Amino acid sequence: MFKLKQKAQAVWEAPREDGRAPVIAFATEALVSAMDAKVWEQAANVARLPGIVGASFVMPDAHWGYGFPIGGVAAFDPEGGVVSAGGVGFDISCGVRLLTTGLALAEIQPYLDALAKSLFRHVPAGLGSKGPIRLSKREMRRVLEEGAHWAVKQGWGEMEDLARIEEGGRMEGADPSAVSARAIERQLPEMGTLGSGNHYLEVQLVERIYDAETARGFGLAEGEVVVSIHCGSRGLGHQIGTDYLAEMVKAAPRFGIRLPERDLACAPIRSELGQRYLGAMRAGINCALANRQVITALARKAFGEIIPEAKLSVLYDVSHNTCKEETHLVQGEKRRLFVHRKGATRAYPPGHPELPEALRPFGQPVIIGGTMGTASWVLVGVQGNPAWFSACHGAGRAMSRHAARKRFRGEALVRTLRAEGVRIEAASLRGVAEEAPQAYKDVDEVVRAAELAGLAKPVARLRPLICVKG
């Protein structure tokens, strides 16, 4: 669709046309050739939005999404720029939290079956799953203001957890009054749930270390076991996205914005609508942070029943599907920008002031989720990242859910993975089929592209032992 020019080993650029910003993709030749044409069309549409700064960036795991491609990154100037609900996505602040256990594989191996059952029993998963908490609307608004701090105050975790979460566990500027009653109602029974789709809780083995010094700084050791939690803001985030997408579509003509695609709906950052959406989205971020905090406590309880000596400590919690106001260098000048990351994560380098003090000498952990049958990765942010210090967030789909359901059977996948040493506990075998490892890109190739492009540096490869799926 575009005459992509290879600018470096894993950097491609589509020439600037019709006054739009360039499209820059970070991928190996194999990944570029496998990306569907819709990715390039959507990235080009993003490059035409008012006030974009730099380029419309495409991450190595990119695939088709709504509005922005999943794996799309773009920054906008506060004056004249826009905020887009489609540039954040429906699962606001979907993210990954990684916990260390200090346990060697040999210590946990005899208990894997019992632990898998315990985790599945304690952590609600699946479409429409209900959590262990029943909140009033008033209490839900406190969640939206306080994020993970609310959860810790309620006994769902420890104060030291908060230092290892983006934004310190609480996103400032949240406005619960900008969240609809319907969004709040949807979330009332869902706090502390994984949900469905690609969300999971995995027990993983640190299979190989690639950067020994950084791994020590992160508390990772080869042969030890970690826990990964991947979920987001559940029904509340989805409803916020639905509500504001519809409102932004209607308001676009009033702002003089011509939308190349309905799902790219946006509003000027400084407009009342733009500010209201930002307040609601930040409340959605707090909801997701609180949700992962409660699930962390539930995972600790499940481990405690089977392996009482286990101590689950938060390594880091990163979000994707956000728009955050950040300071970046633009042509040598510090500027405040609103950075959309949809299916992408921050990748701050060593020394960045927003990192926790204990992690600052090493850089930000970048947690790359894999599939239930392959691997996940821990990377670290590096200096010189060309995409507003952003990196990929996962393997990225290579096949639609519909196509995966037609090709794979959940029962057969569970048996095959069990034979390979991965225990699957799932609320839906249909969901297992949709999330077949073969439906995703090669996560190792995605990580290689991220390293070659200068987005982040590999620290450790993680292999799944237990996967709880919705």
CA–CA distance, 398 with 449 (Å, rounded to integer) = 16
**How many C-beta atoms surround the C-beta of residue 350 within 10 A?**
17
Tokens of 432: 């297992």
CA–CA distance, 294 with 255 (Å, rounded to integer) = 41
CA–CA distance, 89 with 66 (Å, rounded to integer) = 7
Q: Alpha helices, DSSP H only, in 92-222?
A: 105-108, 112-122, 137-146, 148-153, 159-162, 181-187, 212-218
- 238 part of the active site: no
Alpha carbon separation from 133 to 123, 151, 154, 232, 296 (Å, rounded): 12, 11, 11, 17, 14
**Torsion, Cα of 155, 104, 432, 434 (10° steps):** 100
Hey, what amino acid is at 461?
Answer: R
Look-up of token digits 């773009």: 74
Contact 316, 459 (CB under 8 A): no
SS3 98: strand
Hey, what amino acid is at 212?
Answer: A
Rounded to the nearest angstrom, the gap between the alpha carbon of residue 316 and the centroid of all alpha carbons in its chain is: 13
Look-up of token digits 């249909």: 430
Of 328, 352, 393, 402, which is the active-site residue?
393
Helix (H) or strand (E) holding 411: helix 410-419
Look-up of token digits 């960045």: 352
Which candidate, 61, 49, 59, 58, places its Cα nearest to that of 23?
Answer: 58
- Residue 193 sits at φ, ψ, to 5 deg, of -125, 145
Handedness of CA 48, 49, 53, 59 (dihedral sign): negative
Q: Catalogue the active-site residues.
A: 393
